[in-house]
């Protein structure tokens, strides 16, 4: 598969300029105090779909030729990739079917249907949903869209980091949550070109460590997939994103789901920001390792805000154990 380049990312930025404003990057004194670092939060939670993935969806559909668009697209997703494809498909007038694992996050399923895509619930998990989507795409001659293994999607996602390195040019490190790895691969691509001395650290849930274990092993592996942070829920490493991460990623760390929930709470308390689990995972990695980040300028990507209602209520009422209690 072709690797995306920095020119692809710059092209995607010109395409996206017609559809989405840049998202803000904010610093919060209370959050700096909790983290004992200078934390710059890149707010992808304010996208119209509530997550960064919409950048990849729009870049992908823009890059398709008319014949390809006419065939329609099929995606499989626990939610945010689905919303991205549904949103972009509506924008370009393309037919879109989304396969979600059974019992999806209801807020995400409603949003996908609301953007006008057809929602099919099939399979107990992400991998079974993928098999069903492959079957549908084959049966109907539609384009099957991977969540991360696509250079057009990575180029679109890379616009997050073009913006971030302009908004915060002197970052020491940027921390990126990983599912399939489009975000971390995009961060590597842009950092290598524009901020080569900035470290890129990836983070995944210890309950779904396939991306982490694949990166450490240097080969795509299958792993148990049990995180409740649905944006991070994948059971295998993705070839293209792993290749890119191998070239520039500084480190890949794991945090447990309780630490992610605690970081969600800190996002609410200190940054008045509602993050979904995956959207708080980067902050969780910072809070989990205070020595590593102390006194540094840290970019934390809040990748999404699509928390389910039950998740929001539980997060706000639970007592969280915080490593550093400011
Ligand atoms: C998809 C997603 C991630 C992980 O991104 P990948 O590109 O799949 O690694 C992180 N956070 C949120 C909110 C997501 O939707």
Note whether 13 and 122 are same-domain residues. no
Indicate if 105 and 60 belong to the same structural domain: yes
Which strand ranges, in their side-by-side order, compose the sheet holding 143-145?
118-121, 96-100, 73-76, 143-145
Task: Tell the residue nearest (CA) to atom 1 of ligand 1.
Answer: 231
C-alpha 270/C-alpha 80 separation (Å) is: 25
| pLDDT per position as a tens digit, 125-166 | 888 999 999 999 999 999 999 888 999 999 999 999 999 999
Judgement on whether residues 233 and 268 belong to the same structural domain of the protein: yes
Question: Within a domain: residue 270?
Answer: yes
| Whether residue 165 sits in one domain with residue 143 | no
Q: What average pLDDT score do residues 10-24 get?
A: 98
Q: Are residues 117 and 168 in the same domain?
A: no
Task: Name the residue with the closest Cα to ligand 1, atom 2.
Answer: 231
Dihedral in degrees, nearest 10, Cα atoms 285, 291, 293, 294: 140
Domain shared by 120 and 205, yes or no: no
Give, for ligand 1, the residue of 53, 86, 155 to mutate: max count of ligand atoms closer than 8 Å to Cβ: 53
pTM here is 0.95
Predicted confidence at residue 325, as pLDDT, reads 47
Of the candidates 281, 154, 185, 179, which has an alpha carbon nearest to the alpha carbon of residue 236?
179
Does residue 311 sit within a domain? yes
Domain extent, residue 98, equals: 54-149
pLDDT digits (tens, 9 = 90+) for 64-85: 999 999 999 999 987 899 999 9
Residue that is last in its domain, among 124, 149, 174:
149
Q: Quick one: average pLDDT of 10-29?
A: 98
Atom of ligand 1 nearest to the CA of 147: 8
Could you say which of 149, 172, 202 is where a domain stops? Answer: 149
The answer to whether residue 177 is domain-embedded is yes
Mean pLDDT of the region 168-193: 97
Are 142 and 35 within one domain? no
Count up the domains in the chain and report the number. Answer: 2
Among 87, 107, 184, 303, residue to substitute to test ligand 1 (most atoms within 8 Å of Cβ): 303
The 10s digit of each residue's pLDDT in 37-46 is: 999 999 999 9
- Specify whether 211 is located in the same domain as 256: yes
Structure tokens at 71: 């065939």
Last residue of a domain, one of 98, 121, 149: 149
* Residue 1 counted as domain residue: no
Q: If pLDDT is split at 50, 70 and 90, which confidence band does 323 have?
A: low
Answer yes or no: do 158 and 142 share one domain. no
Per-residue pLDDT tens over the stretch 91-129: 999 999 999 989 888 888 899 999 999 999 999 988 899
Same domain, residue pair 178 and 309: yes
CATH at residue 281: 3.40.50.1100
CA 33 to chain centre: 26
**Percentage of the chain surpassing pLDDT 90?**
87
Residue 73 makes CB contacts below 8 A (sequence gap 6+) with 61, 85, 89, 94, 95, 96, 97, 142, 143, 144, 145
Mutate to test the pocket of ligand 1, among 56, 180, 234, 240 (most ligand atoms within 8 A of CB): 180
């Amino acid at each position: 598969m072709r690797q995306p380049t920095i020119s692809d990312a710059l092209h995607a930025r010109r395409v996206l300029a017609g559809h989405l404003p840049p998202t803000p990057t904010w610093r919060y004194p209370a959050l700096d105090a909790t983290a004992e670092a200078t934390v710059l939060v890149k707010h992808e939670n304010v996208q119209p779909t509530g997550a960064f993935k919409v950048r990849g969806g729009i870049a992908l559909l823009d890059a398709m030729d008319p014949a390809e668009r006419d065939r329609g697209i099929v995606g499989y997703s626990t939610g945010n990739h689905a919303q991205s494809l549904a949103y972009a498909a509506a924008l370009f007038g393309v037919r879109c079917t989304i396969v979600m694992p059974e019992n999806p996050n209801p807020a995400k399923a409603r949003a996908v249907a609301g953007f006008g895509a057809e929602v099919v619930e099939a399979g107990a998990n992400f991998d079974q949903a993928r098999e069903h989507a492959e079957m549908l795409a084959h049966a109907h001659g539609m384009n099957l869209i991977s969540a991360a293994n696509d250079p057009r999607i990575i180029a679109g996602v890379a616009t997050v980091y073009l913006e971030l390195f302009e908004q915060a040019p002197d970052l020491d490190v940027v921390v990126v949550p990983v599912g399939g790895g489009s975000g971390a691969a995009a961060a590597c691509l842009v950092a290598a070109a524009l901020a080569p001395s900035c470290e890129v650290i990836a983070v995944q849930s210890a309950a779904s460590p396939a991306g982490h274990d694949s990166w450490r092993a240097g080969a795509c592996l299958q792993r148990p997939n049990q995180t409740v942070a649905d944006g991070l829920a994948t059971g295998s490493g993705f070839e293209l994103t792993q290749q890119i991460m191998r070239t520039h990623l500084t480190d890949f760390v794991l945090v447990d789901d309780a630490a992610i929930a605690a970081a969600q709470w800190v996002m609410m308390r200190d940054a008045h920001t509602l993050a979904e689990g995956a959207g708080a995972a980067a902050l969780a990695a910072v809070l989990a390792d205070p020595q590593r980040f102390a006194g540094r300028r840290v970019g934390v990507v809040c990748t999404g805000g699509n928390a389910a209602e039950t998740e929001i209520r539980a997060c706000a009422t639970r007592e969280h154990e915080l490593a550093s209690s400011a």
